Structure 1
Amino acid sequence: MSLNAERSYKMKLRDVENAFKYRRIPYPKRSVELIALLAISCTFFLFMHTNKLNSRLKEMEVKLQPSEFSALGLTGNHISGHDAGKHDDINTLHGTYQYLKSTGQILQLSPDKLNNTPKAEIDVLFFNRVPKTGSMQLIELMRQLGKVHDYEVEKDPQRGGVIPILEPAEESDMIDNIVNLEDGSVFASHVNFLNFTKHEQPRPIYINMVRDPVERVISWYYYIRAPWVFVPGRRRNNREMPNPKWVNTEYDQCVTSGEKVCTYIENSLLEHVGDHRRQTLFFCGHNEFQCTPFNGRLPLQLAKMNVEREYSVVGTWEHTNETLAVLEAYVPRYFADASKMYYSGLHVDKQNVNPMKPHISQDILDRVRRNFTREIEFYQFCRQRLHKQYLAIKLNDLKRVDKTLARLSEAKDMATYN
């Protein structure tokens, strides 16, 4: 075969290959539409199935949170000996439960007696939030719940910072502003307890959050030294950059060197160092002489009294599930389905978390705690009250799983009947 003939043959062969390679196979128009419809249907059903699975996973996530029974050391129909030894402290849920059961007080618990919400005279929720207790986390939860339950959350901007003590006229003005809010409103502000009754105004629904007082002070210490906090604050208020020594001094060093901000003297008045060491102050009020003495006996008693008489719920993120359950049960208008909402994703997105906060040595913690005895007592008081509120709403469930409690209840019923 000549060279030209061979080249012609190869070209023809290539043309045949291309004809098969790029050939178009005609399909009926209806077949194309059917395939497209089938593809869309499959995509839709896959989306629906994925969405359903996602919802189920979220429900399971809530259910798989540590239950009240595991927290109480209850397994089946008995108290787990392994857990019981770990939770004898009366400040834990298990310890509170065991103490109340041993004294017979457990059967006297009643949600109606422990709930101050019915005392409210206006449909306004007042959250006088304590700094560094996770208050922004609760505000975000309420904002999401507000979309479901039809209420708005108003957060006091407080551009001048937290004002520890209000003058009587300022307190009266703030109370007037809260009273004039629309029904179904939430007002959140870093402010001490406001006594509406004293100012002859209708009472709102009070709630708040607390935290271990020493952990709270340490958290604040590092929070205000975080660059993403003090740099915007400097620009906003036209201040100079802080001293590098102030920024870089660790809390341990601050305590051991005896700096004023890390020195805690009992009954001392306001130090004006901005460390918010007085958690009781937010529950005591605005009387400077009664409420500001640090770690004092009178501020402690006044704070306890106000919590007991006025607050529907004082929770803590250190007992997340209990706090959410109690809020749901005692303030349902604003917190129905709070647990479900929280565990749908909010629990992952923590607010104002400081990754720069280091580990503090136990020696330093113990040293500081010795100066926070009454602040710690108040915190434990709030925890015990939360435990009681929680146990009150779970009492019937507990009777079903704890035979000892069931027998105690039967004995009480028989004694009452006889």
Structure 2
Amino acid sequence: MLWKKRKIVYVFFISVLILFLILVKTKSRRYSAIKWPAANNIVIYNRIPKTGSTTFTNAIAYDLYKENEFNVLHVNMTKNRQVMSLPDQYTFINNVTTWTERLPAFYHGHVAFVDFQRFGVANPIYINIIREPLERLLSHYYFLRYGDNYRIGLKRSRAGNNETFDECYARSGKDCDMKQMWMQIPYFCGHYLFCTEVGNPDALKMAKQNAIEKYLLVGTTARMRDTIALLEVTVPHFFKGALSHFDSLDANRSHLRYTKKKIAPNDQTLSMIRRNEVYKMEREFYDFVSDLFDAVFKKATNGTSKAESLVNMPLQYHFEKIKPT
């Protein structure tokens, strides 16, 4: 009799254990069944202010999304911050990679590089465009005072202040401080603390490394058309027809946002800026990226360096000795 009772108890506990294991296995399968969407269905353009990003985003992304069947989403950073907290980075990555209803997706916004790989996820396709650093700063300086042709009626924060960049620099004003030039390096460096430390050499090193390893392509404002052409042949599911569309635009749309009035700095100001360490670092980064782009473009065009060559360029490889036949 005692044996029968023990047998019932044993059977009961074994049954509970088996049921528990089944539930755990089922739960793990349910979570493992969640697949990260293919990274090539996501393009992130972490656009830098005053580099022609409005032209690119509006004239290319927002013009082509219907034809090429992708979604365009703007990442709006609170109070114009360019960095996210670590928890926000996690939720951003989770949202971007699991929002399947919005795939394929083109994300754009003024935000520093977010490294998905830190969270165990494949990085999406990162692209960007940079500008000669002094040109970018001058454009921003006069934009604050005179606005641009994009939002004509909008009053800018320095409207009515007609102080030239030379005058500002001579009195060490805030708007022309070289700290304001520390922009493109932090955008590529990412979310580490040292990235925002003005003049930090580690930030320059990280920015270069990310430009090489994390970005598919980084073009320049001066070579916008070449950048668009190269994107068309490397990411066709997003940029098919981009070059011909860009060429068809009138001057206002192909240069959508330009500062109404800019006054070139004098030789004395230029001489002082070129000796500044922040300018030297930002210029070094610009030249580094520009040289990378030039090499990629020449290789892709087989030495012609003509955007039109990319569309009709024959493949420079073929398959052979295929077994079994």
TM-score range, shorter chain: 0.7 to 0.9
**CA, structure 1 residues 136+346, in 2 after alignment: closer, same or farther (shift >3 Å)?**
farther
CA 1:310–1:395 in structure 2 vs 1: closer, same or farther (change >3 Å)?
Answer: same
State how 1:37-48 maps to structure 2 within 5 Å: none
Q: Are 2:307 and 1:388 aligned?
A: no
Q: CA RMSD in A?
A: 2.5
Match of residue 377 from structure 1: 284
Shift of residue 361, structure 1, vs aligned partner: 2.1
Contact preservation (8 Å) 2:114, 2:190: yes
8 Å CA contact 1:126, 1:186 repeated in 2: yes
Query: C-alpha offsets along residues 84-123 of structure 1, whole Å, 9 cap, x if unaligned?
Result: xxxxxxxxxxxxxxxxxxxxxxxxxxxxxxxxxxxx7341
The answer as to 2:156 corresponding to 1:249 is: no
Unaligned runs of 5+ in 2: 1-37, 306-325
Match of 1:134 in 2: 52
User: 1:223, CA displacement in angstroms?
Assistant: 1.3
Residue 146 of structure 1 corresponds to 65
Select which of 169, 174, 187 maps to 1:260: 174
Secondary structure of 1:299's counterpart equals: helix
Q: Which amino acid aligns with 2:62?
A: R
CA distance in 1 between partners of 2:52 and 2:147 (Å): 20
Residues 1:361 and 2:232 are matched in the alignment? no
Equivalent residue for 2:143? 223
Residues 242 and 386 from structure 1, CA distance in 2 versus in 1: closer, same or farther, beyond 3 angstroms? closer
Contact 1:214 1:365 in 2 (8 A): no
Three-state SS of the structure 1 residue aligned to 2:119 is coil
8 Å CA contact 1:124, 1:187 repeated in 2 = yes
277 and 121 in structure 1: CA distance in 2 versus 1, 3 angstrom threshold: same
**Once the 2 structures are TM-superposed, how far is the Cα of residue 184 of structure 1 from its aligned partner?**
1.3
Q: Show the counterpart of 2:92.
A: 174
Provide closer, same or farther for how the CA distance between residues 351 and 180 of structure 1 changes in structure 2, counting only shifts above 3 A: farther
CA separation of 1:197 and 1:249: change in aligned 2, threshold 3 A = same
Match of 2:224 among 320, 323, 328: 320
Q: Which amino acid aligns with 2:124?
A: P
Q: Is the 8 A contact 2:71 2:103 kept in 1?
A: no
* Residues 1:369 and 1:177: Cα distance change in structure 2 (over 3 Å): farther
How high is the TM-score relative to the length of structure 1?
0.57
The 1:382/1:169 distance shift into structure 2, 3 A limit, reads same
How far apart are 1:149 and its partner, in Å?
0.9
Aligned to 2:124: 204
The amino acid that maps onto 1:186 is F
Please give the alpha-carbon distance, in whole angstroms, between the structure 1 residues aligned to 2:288 and 2:233.
20
What is the deviation of 1:179? 1.7
Percent identity, aligned pairs only?
27
Alpha carbons of structure 1 residues 149 and 230: separation in structure 2 relative to 1, 3 Å: closer
Contact 1:326 1:389 in 2 (8 A): no
201, 207, 214: which is aligned to 2:134? Answer: 214
Aligned-partner Cα distance in 2 for 1:332–1:143: 15
Partners of 2:41 and 2:195 in 1: how far apart? 28
Q: Secondary structure at the match of 2:72?
A: strand
Bigger radius of gyration: 1
Equivalent residue pairs, number? 260
Residue 308 of structure 1: CA displacement?
A: 0.5
